[in-house]
Structure 1
Amino acid sequence: MAEFRYVIIGGGMAADSAAQGIREIDEEGSIAIISDDVDEPYTRPALSKRLWTDESFDESDNYFDTAEATGARITLRTEATAVDVEAKSVMTTHGDFTYDKLLFVTGGRPKGIDLDEGERVICFREFNDYRRLRDLSGQNLSIAVIGGGFIGTELAAALVQNDTRTTLIFDDDTLGGSIFPPDLAKQFHELYRSHGVTLVPGTKASGGHADGDRVVLDCDGESHEFDAVVVGLGIEPATQLAEEAGLDTDDGIIVDESLRTSKPDVFAAGDVARYPDRILGRQRVEHVDNATQMGKAVGRIMAGADESYTHTPYFYTNVFDFGYQAVGELDPALRTVEDWKKPHTDGVVYYLGEDGRVRGVLMVNMEDRLDDAREILAEDWDHTPGDLVTRIS
């Protein structure tokens, strides 16, 4: 039974940040990180962004060097199988651990379809998935990307920019239609077409099978063949271990404003944590800013800091020459106010609820205005277009 002051289940970005947060307060306390990944903590966004587009940034640059920086003992290829909150112990496939403080940063598992993973079928989530997909790119192969959200659109852009015949299959009638106002979505859709991505809108890929060196997809009753398929449909929060340990869960592990779970000395952070945001209310966020900021905060709290998590995270994407940052809820079904310096290229879109309160702010090709967006989101009153136009732009 290995004894540690802090045990962290999960080896992603939130785990690295938590170890750093611990070290800000506690320089000596022993830290164990239990990870079922084959890699030590790394930057996840680069798997669908920078590693594909920046020749000066390679795989070795993508690691955090967590063990060296914090002294944490990282156990890879290891699954935590049970947690006993009374005995303060964690059972794993490679031995047992005891803890004073325990942190769940278990993230999530990639959503799939009825299609078995294999050499040419990848459910994209981890560094190893990037390596497999990278080996398939640039060989004049035909690769289908399933999913029109963050991961799907970023992977489609990455592949087509690396000499790969790319098809993007998605549910929306227009790419980006589930988050952008109609005119911006149309431009986003055309951006992909103009770069050579074959778009298959309004289509659901429900399953398929491998047939030799080909993969056959079932798309709304029709069959389509590709050399490879990558699924980028987001994640399901990994809560089973927490549920079995008796923690409260609901689309994630429920935590309070100090990231404590329903059990003493047990915390959760990152993609798996459902927390009370001071502006937006209780939510679960699957983006890098939340993972790093929440991870750092929970590390400090576990080590004895008297603080709450008050950061409202942002999210972003960069594809081709189009990039945005956003805070809050992006839903084109809400009333929108658009404020463009250059139509659909540089500007801001505000998403307003029925009460006139701003619920989301999208900033296209604009930087360093996140605090302004958060300030507007925190304003609890009815906004008119005149209140908003030119306020950020």
Structure 2
Amino acid sequence: MADIEEKTFRIVIVGGGIAGVTCVEQLLSQIPSADVALITAGPHIKAVTNYKQVSKTLEEFDVEEQPSSVLEEKFPNLTVIHSAVKSLHTQSHTLETVDGRIFGYEKLCICSGGRPKLLTLDNPYVLGIRDTDSAQEFQKRLSKAKRIVVVGNGGIALELVFEVEGCEVIWAVKDKAIGNTFFDPGAAQFLIPSLEADKPERAAPCKRTRYTTEEPAPGGSQTFTADKNARGHGSGHTEAGSALGPDWHEGIVLRGAEQVSRRVSLEYQCEVEKIFTSEELLKSPQQTLRPENGGSWPVHIQLTNGKTFGCDFVVSATGVVPNTEPFLHGNKFALADDDGLQVDDHMMTSEPDVYAAGDVCTACWEHSPLWQQMRLWTQARQMGWYAGRCMAAHVLSEPIELDFCFELFSHITKFFNYKVVLLGKFNGQGLGPDHELLVRCTKGQEYVKVVLSGGRMVGAVLIGETDLEETFENLILNQMDLTPYKEELLNPNIDIEDYFD
């Protein structure tokens, strides 16, 4: 295809991540004869495998990196173009790739994902973890490291801190508790012992109806050490590209140069003030910048809590920003406050014939009261799937309604080896002061939190093997008044499923 100067496709999709690939699959399953192109920078695409519908809205799947030829074999009318996009011209309905080729489109879907928000762009000692390449670079550097600093409090930071062995980890979080994108401080406290022990001790369930948040002392630190056996995994080589899958650390050995197994020190409520080299440190007139043990580390990081740490390198895990870069110049896209491309309830942007899905876009329709956008794998798949359906419906002039997956926010993941299920307004997002929380916690086993508003369940956090997800999903969806059952909802001696059958 490289010799084609210009070709117009009926539909062009940009991005070989989950959203883009799911969009391609959905489109071509509905209109097999459509002339479709997928433009992707790397030779590999991200495919959803082992997909399982767990309940009405909950789904589980693996993300697998595959050569793009797998897609082309499956869909004879698909052309995969390996190049990054240089520019988009919405008026002429054309795209230019970095290698100088120009492609026309009738309809376009932008699924270019997000790019990491790095602490600093030009420091060789600061590493962002986003795609397979950067994860392998991290593995390589970690094998020689004795101490690293991890900055960030999202999913990748949580997974990374738990998985790293043989290396001291200083973990700087800007919040009062870990993982506050996903948990409240109570759930964070439930998970913390996993950083210090192999097998958390089990205790009797404690039942609390009204809930008070427990959190570490403001600005405080916590240190844990643990002994954990190293696990050996093989590692396959892959190229750069779209974001990592869930369980991205499976298959790579995250082991440092030290004999200690795990040593994590937490620094709460602080951000990065400054990053500097040993030379800059020695020249510094401020004696306050001297690190806690003047070791000869290649890089030093000063935190806003006044502490300075030397380390081998810094991991920047501070989230992503929508990757809109090559598409904006010369066009009139409406952008949301988070700089994502605004999309309506048919995944259409403000530019004609241009759709978007996944991390690059922001859902700007009126949301269901129980749904919110979070830039997660599940939503990239759902948005890509729905965008594919919308494009097919528009091509075939068929009506289409907003998909049911946008009725209720739901997400299954794993943190610190525990299954984690999040439903609805699981952190009380956007709810007034009148909502209440019910909590059941069995140390080392499970943590169950229910969010009630006006006596109706609007959200839940389930950590551990609780088997409550389907029942709670139903209770949230049917909005039944639970006031009479409040005391019994989390009673471990009552089989709640039988209760509401």
Identify which of 26, 33, 38 aligns with 1:33.
38
CA contact (8 A) 1:109 1:237 kept: yes
State the partner residue of 2:449: 349
1:249 maps to which of 310, 315, 335: 335
Structure 2 letter corresponding to 1:40: H
TM norm structure 1: 0.82
* Letter paired with 2:302: D
C-alpha deviations, 1:6-48, integer Å up to 9, x for none?
1112221101101110121121322222234x35222699xxx
The 10-residue stretch of structure 1 (376-385 or 138-147) with the greater mean CA deviation from structure 2: 376-385
Give the CA deviation at 1:289.
1.1
1:186 aligns with 2:189: yes
For residue 8 of structure 2, what is the aligned residue in structure 1?
3
Shift of the 344–157 alpha-carbon distance from structure 1 to 2, 3 Å rule, reads closer
Equivalent residue number for residue 460 of structure 2: 361
CA distance in 1, matches of 2:467, 2:86: 40
Question: Are the equivalent residues in 1 in contact too, given 2:177–2:268 (CA < 8 A)?
Answer: yes
So what's the TM-score if we normalise by structure 2? Answer: 0.66
1:270 aligns with one of 345, 358, 364: 358
Task: Give the Cα separation in 2 of the matches to 1:292 and 1:233.
Answer: 22
Closer, same or farther in 2 for the Cα pair 1:98/1:350, shift >3 Å? Answer: same
Aligned pair 1:259/2:347, yes or no? Answer: yes
* 1:50-88 deviation per Cα after TM superposition (whole angstroms, max 9, x unaligned): xxxxxxxxx9x533743443353333451342232x321
**Equivalent runs, 1:103-252 vs 2, <5 Å:** 103-114=109-120, 116-118=122-124, 120-160=125-165, 163-176=166-179, 179-194=182-197, 195=226, 196=262, 197-211=264-278, 214-220=298-304, 221-244=306-329, 245-250=331-336, 251=338, 252=340
Q: Secondary structure at the match of 1:180?
A: coil
- Residue 288 of structure 1 and its aligned partner are, at CA, apart by 1.0
CA, structure 1 residues 371+261, in 2 after alignment: closer, same or farther (shift >3 Å)?
Answer: farther
Question: CA contact under 8 A between 1:338 and 1:350: conserved in structure 2?
Answer: yes
Match of 2:107 in 1: 101
Does the CA contact (< 8 Å) of 2:150 and 2:172 recur in 1?
A: yes
Out of 383-392 and 143-152, give the one that drifted further: 383-392
For 1:108 and 1:157, the matched residues in 2 are separated by 24
Cα deviation code 1:250-309 (max 9, x no counterpart): 132222222222333221111223224763477433111111122122113212364333
Residue 360 of structure 2 aligns to which amino acid in structure 1?
Answer: V
Alignment correspondent of 2:380: 291
Structure number, greater radius of gyration: 2
Q: Percent identity?
A: 22
Residue in 2 that maps onto 1:327: 423
Q: Given that residues 128 and 316 in structure 2 are in contact (C-alpha distance below 8 angstroms), is that contact kept between their aligned partners in structure 1?
A: yes
In structure 2, the CA distance between the partners of 1:344 and 1:264, relative to structure 1 (3 Å rule), is farther
Distance 1:115 1:92, change over 3 A: closer
Shift of 1:324: 0.3
Partner of 1:56: none
Moved more, 209-218 or 286-295: 209-218
Q: Which runs of 5+ in 2 are unaligned?
A: 1-5, 50-62, 198-225, 227-261, 280-296
CA-to-aligned-CA distance 1:317-356 (integer Å, 9 cap, x gap): 3233322011233437874533537456335312345x55
Q: Which segments of 5 or more consecutive residues in structure 1 lack a partner in the other structure?
A: 46-58
Q: Root-mean-square deviation (CA), in Å?
A: 3.3
How many residue pairs align between the two structures? 373
